């Protein structure tokens, strides 16, 4: 599987294996907040990006303008695939926020908690989120905020991925929620969900 071998090669890059931005090190320090041992594979990032582009196209209407937020941007594995949507990158970890500024000098990077970002929304936006929803003490608040901002008309869509099979926001208020794809070429395999 060429995808897995290129993913394994990417594990050897600085920001994944070593230094202050190491994924493995950060996972060991904060397993519930980081939620994965490694960044999203290119296949997973591609599936998320396809879902985000489609949701953005539908939500943005004729002028094609809609603010995008990427929550929990980490090392930027998803950002590389959605950068054309000009997302604002939100990352709570200082070292990863610095890495994102280096990798994506054209994008706005906010080093802050995504709960604050969502709570202070004042204009409609679309969201791509990598924030872990399983076993993360903030996941209840995050789900609640996504739902309340959607009900207020400030969140037009949300694309996220999980390592479980079931719908992580199933009791929500979203008109449409569906599994856009199952991605076996991800470690572990993941499901991409669209809410709109
Ligand atoms: C699974 S990692 C995703 C990383 C990214 N998709 C990648 O592949 O590089 C989850 C990310 O969410 C960030 N995170 C977790 N809770 C957060 C919060 N409340 N606000 C902002 N970022 C958060 C973590 O620091 C981590 O970078």
Whether this prediction's pTM lies above 0.85 is answered by yes
Residue 15 is predicted with a pLDDT of 53
CA–CA dist 175, 58 (Å, integer): 14
Residue 135 is predicted with a pLDDT of 82
At residue 2, does pLDDT exceed 60?
no
Contact 47, 183 (CB under 8 A): yes
Residue 8 is predicted with a pLDDT of 47
Q: Residue 111: exposed, middle, or buried by beta-carbon count in 10 A (0-12, 13-18, 19+)?
A: middle
Domain 40-195 CATH superfamily? Vaccinia Virus protein VP39 (3.40.50.150)
pLDDT tens digits, 111-143: 999 999 999 999 999 999 999 998 889 999 999
Give the Å distance between the CA of 70 and the centre of ligand 1: 10
Q: Is 44 in the pocket of ligand 1 (CB under 6 A)?
A: no
User: How much is the average pLDDT of 168-187?
Assistant: 90
Domain edges within the chain: 40-195
CA angle at 147 for the pair 145 and 150, rounded to the nearest 5°: 105
Q: Over pLDDT 90: what percentage of the chain?
A: 72
Residue-averaged pLDDT of the chain: 89
Residue 167 is predicted with a pLDDT of 93
CA–CA dist 104, 146 (Å, integer): 26
Closest CA to 129 of 119, 118, 137, 20: 118
Residue 7 is predicted with a pLDDT of 52
Q: Is 99 in the pocket of ligand 1 (CB under 6 A)?
A: no
Give the Å distance between the CA of 63 and the centre of ligand 1: 31
72, 96, 118, 137: residue to mutate for ligand 1 pocket, most atoms within 8 A of CB: 72
């Amino acid at each position: 599987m060429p995808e897995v071998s290129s993913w394994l090669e990417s594990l050897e890059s600085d920001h994944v294996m070593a230094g202050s931005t190491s994924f493995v090190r950060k996972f060991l320090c904060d397993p519930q907040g980081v939620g994965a041992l490694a960044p999203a594979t290119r296949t997973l990032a591609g599936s998320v990006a396809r879902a985000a582009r489609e949701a953005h196209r539908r939500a943005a209407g004729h002028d094609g303008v809609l603010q995008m937020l990427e929550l929990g941007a980490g090392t930027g594995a998803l950002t590389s695939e959605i950068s054309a949507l000009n997302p604002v990158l939100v990352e709570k970890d200082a070292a990863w926020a610095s890495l994102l500024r280096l990798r994506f000098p054209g994008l706005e990077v906010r080093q802050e908690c995504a709960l604050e970002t969502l709570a202070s929304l004042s204009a409609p936006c679309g969201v791509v989120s990598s924030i872990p929803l399983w076993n993360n003490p903030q996941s209840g608040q995050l789900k609640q905020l996504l739902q309340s901002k959607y009900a207020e008309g400030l969140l037009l869509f949300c694309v996220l991925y999980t390592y479980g099979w079931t719908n992580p926001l199933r009791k929500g208020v979203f008109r449409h929620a569906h599994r856009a794809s199952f991605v076996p070429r991800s470690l572990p395999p993941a499901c991409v969900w669209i809410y709109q």
